Chains A and B, each alone.
Chain A
């Protein structure tokens, strides 16, 4: 289970709009 999901993946950061 969870193949392909990496717990050490980079955290997503929202780019501020504008």
Chain B
């Protein structure tokens, strides 16, 4: 299974594109943040596909986005 590319995504429906990206992202997110990986992956999937493809190729970008998502989640939970 090679890297996911924009060309591979372009042949799929918008819903399938998020599905394909989620399948690649989830294990990576889980390795960074095991407890909230499903929620964080859902949050990340709302971003642009081009940004998600970049994160799949750049562990540093992914990590910083996961950190940001954790911050957003914690702030949200603190408000409730």
Contact = CB atoms under 8 A, between A and B. Distances in A.
Interface of A: 1-2, 4-15
Nearest to B21: A12
B71 A7 contact: no
Contacts, number: 54
26 contacts: A1-B68, A1-B72, A2-B71, A2-B75, A4-B47, A5-B43, A5-B46, A5-B65, A5-B68, A5-B69, A6-B43, A7-B75, A7-B77, A9-B39, A9-B46, A10-B42, A10-B45, A11-B42, A12-B22, A12-B25, A12-B26, A12-B37, A12-B38, A12-B39, A13-B38, A14-B38
Nearest to B29: A12
Contacts of A5: 43-44, 46-47, 65, 68-69, 72
